[in-house]
Amino acid sequence: MQNFSDILPTLASIDHLQAIELYDADGSIAGIIENKPGSSGSVKVYHHLWKKWGAINASAAREGLALYAEHTEDARQHPGKHPNIDRLFQVIDKDDSLTVETIPVGIA
């Protein structure tokens, strides 16, 4: 099994992004992931999933859990420790879909 740190370099650059905003079916904000130390890896994962799937749906979420590698099991064992992984579990459990809006660098 690959580690998360091995997977990240295989995903597209997110240097152009300040953040990713996630919206639920009724248009309410479901989360914001900022491109900063500690969450930039999640921006990379969510950006990849959005580019591939067009939204964060159950299929995208399952792929995301695989991309998070060893962190996925840690999230299962410690709910709340990895909120961006927890969100993927919720998408699968609820058969939900989140839309994505990318916020480019320089937009406040």
Angle in degrees, CA 2, 48, 46, rounded to 5: 90
pLDDT tens per residue across span 40-82:
999 999 999 999 999 999 999 999 999 999 999 999 999 999 9
Q: Domain coordinates of the chain in residue numbers?
A: 4-104
Q: What DSSP string runs through 57-87?
A: -HHHHHHHHHHTTHHHHHHHHSTTSSHHHHH
pLDDT over threshold 80, residue 1 = no
Q: What is the mean pLDDT of the chain?
A: 96
pLDDT (0 to 100) of residue 108: 58
> How many Å apart are CA 30 and CA 100, to the nearest integer?
10
